[in-house]
Amino acid sequence: MATVIELPLETYKGPVDPDWCPGCGDFGVLRSLQMAAGKLGVQPKDLMVVSGIGCSSNLPGFIHAYGIHSLHGRAVAVATGAHLANTDMKVVMTGGDGDGYGIGIGHFIHAMRRNLDVTYIVMDNQIYGLTTGQASPTTTRGHKTKSTPKGNAEVPLNPVAMAITAGATYVARGFSGEQKQLVELIAGGMAHKGFALIDVYSPCVTYNKINTYPWFKERVYKLEDENWDPSDFSKSLTKSFEWGEKIPLGLIYKSEQTTYEEVEPVLQRGALVKQPLGISKETMAEFIDEMI
């Protein structure tokens, strides 16, 4: 087993400081990702962070690594392409509940059923923050927002239950107010072989006045304090529906399954970017010239 050399937090400090609202939960998620990468000893040159559109999706600009700030709802699609091109890189997707569970839900489901070896960190603030406070797919029923002034009529989506049933093999729930645990959950997801979802309650201090830090602090509890076994599919699925007076945090489900990369014939010879093209340099140069 290879020796892991942990890297300091400063290794991942980006050239631009975050510009989120003071108190935003996304600050804690960014720091947790940086600490998790350092814990695993992942060099910035071996890390790709891909996002969509939204407050949380600005994250790739605040971390020293390869990054793509892609289109709304397309983080998973773009990350899939980047990952399959170079399977030697650690690919982490970051975004919000609107971007990932609303606009991008189709990509989200199919990446999980393929069990791609990537990690998805969703900063779930239960509101559309960047567009100033509309109801999102995880907004609770009855919540009054800019788009639902008389109360949200829709039942909120349960991303954790969806991930377990769709084929994700590492499904966790974190809270930006519990950073030490969140670091471990993200590191575990990045180290896991298969699709990892970490759904993080990341309070929006500007537009969500219901699901606040104090609101979560009164309700959350850690599964590791109860000697929870995340390998039981049925019990994990039941646990994913626990919400209200008690909300579980931690690794809810984990399974070791064959990944897409292990069965795709083209990838058996290694990362695509390291495989020979099978054409001459001259032909490749002509092709590039034609495309640009």
CATH number at residue 245: 3.40.50.970
pLDDT digits (tens, 9 = 90+) for 228-269: 999 999 999 999 999 989 999 999 999 999 999 999 998 988
Q: Answer whether residue 1 is part of any domain.
A: no
Strands 90-96 vs 220-222: parallel, antiparallel or unpaired? unpaired
| Mean residue pLDDT across the chain | 95
* Cβ-contact 135, 217 below 8 angstroms: no
- Asked if the model's pLDDT at residue 279 lies above 90, the reply is no
What per-residue confidence (pLDDT) applies to 19? 94
pLDDT digits (tens, 9 = 90+) for 104-155: 999 999 999 999 999 999 999 999 999 999 999 999 999 999 999 999 999 9
Mean pLDDT of 158-171: 98
pLDDT digits (tens, 9 = 90+) for 54-70: 999 999 999 999 999 99
Q: Answer whether residue 242 is part of any domain.
A: yes
Q: How remote is the C-alpha of 237 from its chain's centroid? A: 19
Give the integer Cα–Cα distance in Å for 250 and 259: 23
SS3 167: coil
Q: Answer whether residue 4 is part of any domain.
A: no
How many other CB atoms are found less than 10 A from the CB of residue 209?
14
Q: Answer whether residue 29 is part of any domain.
A: yes
288: pLDDT confidence band, cut at 50, 70 and 90?
confident
Give the integer Cα–Cα distance in Å for 199 and 168: 12
Calculated CA dihedral for residues 235, 241, 247, 253, nearest 10 degrees:
40
Residue 69 contacts by C-beta under 8 Å, 6 or more apart in sequence?
A: 51, 53, 57, 58, 60, 61
What per-residue confidence (pLDDT) applies to 145? 94
Question: What is the domain extent for residue 87?
Answer: 9-291
What per-residue confidence (pLDDT) applies to 171? 98
* Cβ-contact 254, 231 below 8 angstroms: yes
Mean pLDDT of 75-81: 97
Q: Answer whether residue 36 is part of any domain.
A: yes
Q: Answer whether residue 17 is part of any domain.
A: yes
What per-residue confidence (pLDDT) applies to 245? 93
Tokens of 79: 């990350």
If we measure between CA atoms, which residue out of 184, 181, 188 comes closest to residue 249? 181
What per-residue confidence (pLDDT) applies to 2? 64
What per-residue confidence (pLDDT) applies to 186? 98
**Total count of domains within the chain:** 1
If we measure between CA atoms, which residue out of 218, 207, 201 comes closest to residue 29? 201
pLDDT digits (tens, 9 = 90+) for 177-221: 999 999 999 999 999 999 999 999 999 999 999 999 999 999 999
If we measure between CA atoms, which residue out of 171, 140, 161, 175 comes closest to residue 242? 161
Q: Answer whether residue 241 is part of any domain.
A: yes
Q: Answer whether residue 3 is part of any domain.
A: no
Per-residue 3-state assignment (H helix, E strand, C coil) for 210-242: CCCHHHHHCCEEEHHHHCCCCCCHHHHHHHHCC
User: Tell me, what amino acid is at 10?
Assistant: E
